[in-house]
Amino acid sequence: MPPTATARSLQGVRKWLVLLVALCGLIGPVAQSPAVGQRYTPIVMSVTSGPQWFKGTDGSYSLVYELRLTNGFGTPVKISSIGVRDGDGKPLVRLAGTRLRRSLTLLADPTKPTLEVPGSTVAVAWMQLRFAHRSEIPSRIEHVLTVRPSPGLPVPRSIADVGGRAKVDLAGPVVIGPPLVGDNWVAVGSCCDGPHRRALQPVNGRLFLGQRFAVDWNGMDAEDRFVNGDPDTNAGWTFYGKPVVAVADATVVEAVDRFPEQVPNDARPVTLQEADGNYVILKIGPHQFVGYAHLQHGSVAVRAGQHVRRGDPVGALGNSGSSTGPHLHFQVMDAPSLVAANGLPFVIDRFTEVGTIPPLSAALARRLARGLPAPIDRHGAGPQVDALPLGRDVVDFP
């Protein structure tokens, strides 16, 4: 039966509606004006996990966390400043200019500082707030973010927003004993100036930062030498094979000892499963675990389910897994995994601060590789109680 005039008219309307819907899909959603009291905020702020604090060997108290910045616009947004306030609105710190740039990276490129967040992209502000006294640490924080969207958008040229509210974990750091024994140990990588701090990993559908407070331990002999032999062999490093010990009474959760040693400065590629090398994980308390990685092949002295006492042998310092030279990677975390966990702050209950070595320049690296003594700034040397050795600290353990 031929269509009636009315049916033909309805078919025409349907065709126009289909065309209109298709065009809207190409152009994108129509920007609507927010209701009264609402406004567009191109960057959405969130704190990845509860801010946590520790005391360092410099006597200051550091509050550490990550502020995630998600650009909800399809165009770049420049970050002008990040202010931090306590729960009562009292300003604590303001990051801008060079200081802000050093603290801000894209999620996918944590080594490259930036002040601009591309459209539909996530950035991370790696936050560390320092306080002279523990009593100054706030119980809550919030952030004041000032940004400049790309020109030509129906928004102000500068936008300030308050968000990223978070409750501070005031429980304090985990107190442990030393993971090594003897003198002249060097915290080559520690919180919060090394690659550990920014090793945010997407694992099992979540973002984890198990290495947030991790330390890489190297050592020197009595003459302050890292090397006493061929630096291209493990045995040439003065601290290779030294005992690694339990930091507390604990239960062994996992112990792996099947991966070969790497050759210093000529490491072969490894899989994700081999990245930690030979490792041990201990449970030292409810939701508190410690991890020792890159242990020497054949040295692991414990097995899963075993109970150990503080100071008991765990293994020996090695060079297995994703490692370019002998060292002990040590961290405290909230789950029994070196990767799928969040790092917890920790302090060592008793040790002696010897001094600090300079940043590792190419010239210093060549000097150390030749077996020459490391220069040590001994300012601030003395006993330490319940503190975390900071980057490049030289310490003696009981």
At residue 27 the predicted structure's pLDDT band, cuts being 50, 70 and 90, is very low
Q: What would the pLDDT profile of 313-338 be if each residue is shown by its tens digit?
A: 999 999 999 999 999 999 999 999 99
- Asked if residue 10 is part of any domain, the answer here is no
Query: Where among 136, 167, 198 does a domain terminate?
Result: 167
Burial class of residue 388 (count of CB atoms within 10 Å of its CB; 0-12, 13-18, 19+): buried
- Asked if residue 379 is part of any domain, the answer here is yes
- Helix (H) or strand (E) segment spanning residue 20: helix 5-27
pTM exceeds 0.85, yes or no: yes
**Cross-strand partners of 293:** 329
**Residue 208, CA distances (Å) to 27, 216, 372, 389 in order:** 37, 19, 39, 23
Within 10 angstroms of residue 320's Cβ, the number of other Cβ atoms is 25
Residue 282 CA to residue 324 CA, distance in Å, equals 25
- Asked if residue 24 is part of any domain, the answer here is no
Query: Where among 104, 135, 167 does a domain terminate?
Result: 167
Residue 105 CA to residue 311 CA, distance in Å, equals 40
Q: What would the pLDDT profile of 355-368 be if each residue is shown by its tens digit?
A: 999 998 999 999 99
Question: Domain residues for 364?
Answer: 174-397
Range with the lowest mean pLDDT among 83-87, 114-118, 359-363? 359-363
Residues 121 and 181 reside in one and the same domain: no
- Of 285, 205, 283, 210, which is closest to residue 49 (Cα–Cα)? 210
Residues 218 and 305 reside in one and the same domain: yes
- Asked if residue 279 is part of any domain, the answer here is yes
All residues at 6 or more sequence positions from 249 whose CB lies less than 8 Å from its CB, including other chains: 284, 307, 308, 309, 310
Residues 135 and 197 reside in one and the same domain: no
At residue 198 the predicted structure's pLDDT band, cuts being 50, 70 and 90, is very high
Mean pLDDT across the stretch 175-201? Answer: 94
Q: What pLDDT shows up at residue 85?
A: 98
Residues 149 and 235 reside in one and the same domain: no
**101, pLDDT greater than 70:** yes
Residues 152 and 204 reside in one and the same domain: no
- Asked if residue 235 is part of any domain, the answer here is yes
**32, pLDDT greater than 70:** no
At residue 153 the predicted structure's pLDDT band, cuts being 50, 70 and 90, is confident
At residue 15 the predicted structure's pLDDT band, cuts being 50, 70 and 90, is very low
Q: What pLDDT shows up at residue 208?
A: 95
Residues 73 and 150 reside in one and the same domain: yes
Query: Where among 110, 136, 167 does a domain terminate?
Result: 167
Residues 261 and 126 reside in one and the same domain: no
Residue 259 CA to residue 51 CA, distance in Å, equals 36
Return phi, psi of residue 161, to 5°.
Answer: -140, 145
Q: Residue 299 has which token pair?
A: 């040295």
Percentage of the chain exceeding pLDDT 90 = 85
All residues at 6 or more sequence positions from 267 whose CB lies less than 8 Å from its CB, including other chains: 322, 323, 324
**28, pLDDT greater than 60:** no
